[in-house]
Structure 1
Amino acid sequence: MLWHSTPTIPVQIRVHHRPPQRKEGRVLRDYDPPIDQIPRNYDPSLHPFEAPREYVRALNATKLERVFAKPFLGALDGHKDGVNCLCKDPTRLSSLISASYDGEVRIWNLSQRTCVKTLQAHDGLVQGLCCHPKGNKFFTCGSDQVIKQWRYTMEEEMPDEPVSTILGKTVVQCIDHHWSDDVYATCGDQVDIWNEARTEPIRSFKWNVDGVHHIKFNPVEKHLIGGCASDRSIILYDIRGSSPLRKVILKLKSNAIAWNPMEAYVFTAANEDYNLYSFDMRNLSLPINVHMDHTSAVMDVDYSPTGKEFVTACYDKSLRIFPTDKGHSREIYHTKRMQRVRIVKWSLDNRYILSGSDEMNIRIWKARASEKLGTLSIREKTSFNYGEKLKEKFQHHPEIKRISRHRHVPKHIYTASAELRQIRMSKRRKEANRRAHSKPGAVPHVPARKKQIVREVE
């Protein structure tokens, strides 16, 4: 067989000469390909597999989120007794003040995770701790009936002695500072309003209760105070008035209260019945939401700076993060060594959570468990935002919903959750049976939000 070679046809190559261009700091030469914008047609008929492709991407993003979910960052150890109080510095993100049951107060540098100063503030346990809005002083109160004011600085050596000491008439349970004025409030047998320049309270409030164990100033309407009393009530005060405003009585006692920093009229109370109740202070007869998932008494609550979420500390040795508009938590944090959590704080940069517990440690957590720390490139930010939108788009699909909701929890929380679920189902079944075998209207339908409310008092 003979092979015939095809004659070569000369091809004329036309070279386009164009001026040099710049791309990201470098000069494009003649041999670089031209920069052309490729238009995209969004017609659905041209992209028949767009939805399946995006579903797979959303599923992968959800799985990767659970793979990289490692919220625990580190612990600050040094206290010799359980941590009872934490205080955020309103002017420094890297500073934290903590107090323990043995009367010791420590000042921490969070960026270096070191203790800057140790003070023996009180003879007994420290009941309350708060910081001045300017960040130059802080206040403590203890079971020794003493209120102390301390000078606070991170640039130079702090004095070991307090600036002023006030001996109260009774044990002070909690203390909180006004968000702008030189005024702070304490609670015990009654709620007292103090001026920093005086040794006697300028105003006192009492409403036929044995005692108030927790108070908190409103960060928006700064003259309002919310307090939790021993008669299972939540009381609202206005420091410009002469008497308390109103109160609502629940079936069980509330341990702590937190105001939403973005909605002046909304606050959330941590209750002994394992739930949290969000109220609108304009109508206390019915909570706007009930947040449940804990399996023991909720000890503390704190809002994020955005006001969209809050974190809770519980006696069941765990932390939970709740969206403000949902009844169940989106995240649960726990470790093997962590004991009953007494206090929790959300950092002012909305990225970290600080918790203090009975085994003498202060733990640092990420507010978003799978978030990458450090600087992100533009491609990483774009990929993350794209994945978040895909997860939001397909959040109700069964497989994605199952993966995003699944959490490994300790055995005692798992068994307690199952037991509480059986108790609630049993109560619901008994109520339905009584309604079915009674006269019409004899067993009325009571909303779940209203079952724990006894009455509102004005």
Structure 2
Amino acid sequence: MLWKCWLNKEARYQLLPVEVGMERTHLGRLPQAHKGKVTGLCFTDESRLLSCGVDRNVKLWKIGSMYSGSSIDHQRSSSLFATASTLVQVWDETKSAPISDLTFPTSTETVSSVRFNQSETSILASVGSDRTFTLYDIRTGKAERRVVMQMRANALSWSPTFPTSILLASEDHNLYTFDIRHLDSPSLIYKGHVAAVMSCDWSPTGTEFVSGGWDRTVRIWQTEQGFAPEVYHTKRMQRVSSTIFTNDARFVLSGSDDGNVRIWKGKASEKLGIVTARERAAIEYRSSLVERWKMDKEVGKVVRKRHLPKPVYAAHKLKNTMLDSRRAKEERRRKHTRAGESKPKAERKKVVLVEQS
């Protein structure tokens, strides 16, 4: 069975089954898990759950008997887990004190998200309030590399298929993929949101990822395509603060400020019931036709068109106008710069301000 956890503002949590066709009722509730807001949850295995809160406590719960910093993440292959607040600490489930403190010497940040690499499990990454993105190695017990970005990153997620690739959701409305071997500039920039991107998560297949933003939309992106994502929205959904793919890559879960958890299909046109061989052949045939003729003007227009809510559409038009003006200004500067003088930087080179090691 597939389980997902959802936090609320009353220091409680609920454990919900998200398998389609099951009864939509919560299975357990702990009235006072923490004193104050619960800020992070993760599973250690199928029967145990870790939680952390603003009361500076980390608690381990056994799901069989009771359900139950700012971020928390568990290592895939051992009993180690990491918590983040004003510093990053690594813990062992069998011990009541942290086994190591991971901080950068000049860091004054409040860490908002921390994640273990899924393949190289000794590598840990975090993003903080002072616009930093930091890589740690728990074997050496210190921060290895750190970059200061132009704007703050709100969330991060490691690629499940490429261990050196990491995804960042930024305050500047964009998402960035970085190769951790070359942190001087992002590998690709994903543009589409018209407000701060608050969350991101890779699909288990590694071919796509989901993001949720302050513009009240959920978007699904193809890995090597930095534009034209699938856009999900509803009339009553507010700012999206959490998004995640299910383990079978068929569904996306989102949590928003209106207090609701929503389940979306990973592919909007996919049939949920049993698909016969004849239906599957017809679906594949239609998909191949679209792929073959997508460069045609009329077909491409239908393929690329996405309906947006009126406020998002208006914000999108305004943002495009501002970007076009900025682009024209940069082009004029580049054209009239004298030979030998420093020219304006390319867009990718502006994302990272300083790289430290």
Q: TM-score, normalised by structure 1?
A: 0.75
- Tell me, what secondary structure is at the counterpart of 2:247? coil
Contact 1:236/1:247 (<8 A) preserved: yes
Gaps of 5+ in 1: 1-91, 163-171
Alignment correspondent of 1:355 = 254
Q: Which residue of 1 is the match for residue 24 of structure 2?
A: 113
Partner secondary structure for residue 329 of structure 2: helix
The residue number in structure 2 matching 1:280 is 179
Amino acid at match of 1:149: L
**C-alpha distance in structure 2 between counterparts of 1:334 and 1:130, whole Å:** 27
Q: In the aligned structure 2, how far is the partner of 1:109 from the partner of 1:323?
A: 27
The residue matched to 2:284 in structure 1 has which SS? helix
Partner of 1:174: 71
1:374 maps to what in 2? 273
1:124 aligns with 2:21: no
Return the alpha-carbon distance in structure 1 between the equivalents of residues 337 and 133 of structure 2. 36
Distance in 1, matches of 2:79 and 2:188, equals 34
- 2:59 counterpart (128, 144, 148): 148
**How far does residue 364 in structure 1 lie from its aligned partner after superposition?**
0.4
Which residue of 148, 151, 162 corresponds with 1:252? Answer: 151
Letter in 1 for 2:122: H
Matching residue's letter, 1:419: L
1:438 is the counterpart of 2:337: yes
CA offsets 1:413-448 (integer angstroms, 9 cap, x no match): 111111111111111111222333332353525222
Aligned with 1:122: secondary structure?
coil
Residues 23-422 of structure 1: matches in 2 within 5 Å? 92-93=1-2, 95-110=3-18, 111-120=22-31, 121-132=33-44, 134-153=45-64, 158-159=65-66, 172-207=69-104, 208-210=106-108, 211-422=110-321
Give the letter aligned to residue 274 of structure 2: T
Q: Is the 8 A contact 2:210 2:218 kept in 1?
A: yes
Q: State how far apart, in whole Å, the 1-side matches of 2:155 and 2:294 are.
A: 33
Amino acid at match of 2:336: H
TM-score (normalised: structure 2): 0.95
Distance 2:29 2:58 in 1: 18
Number of equivalent positions: 351
- Native 8 Å contact 1:435 1:442 kept in 2: no
Question: Is the contact between residue 187 and residue 215 of structure 1 (CA under 8 Å) also seen in structure 2?
Answer: yes
Paired amino acid for 2:71:
C
The structure with the largest alpha-carbon Rg is 1
398-407 or 350-359: bigger deviation: 398-407
In structure 1, give the amino acid aligned to 2:51.
T
Secondary structure in 1 matching 2:283: helix
Aligned AA (1:199):
S
- Secondary structure at the aligned position of 2:97 is classed as coil
C-alpha offsets along residues 53-74 of structure 1, whole Å, 9 cap, x if unaligned? xxxxxxxxxxxxxxxxxxxxxx
Percent identity (aligned): 36
**Unaligned stretches of 5+ in structure 2?**
none
- Please tell me the root mean square deviation across aligned C-alpha atoms, in Å: 1.4
* Corresponding residue SS for 2:349: coil
Asked if structure 2 preserves the Cα contact closer than 8 Å seen for 1:435 and 1:443, the reply is: no
* Contact 2:252–2:266 (CA under 8 A) maintained in structure 1: yes
The one-letter code sitting in structure 1 at the alignment partner of 2:313 is Y
Q: Distance in 2 between matches of 1:96 and 1:431?
A: 46
Alignment partner, residue 9 of structure 1: none
Give the corresponding residue for 1:44: none
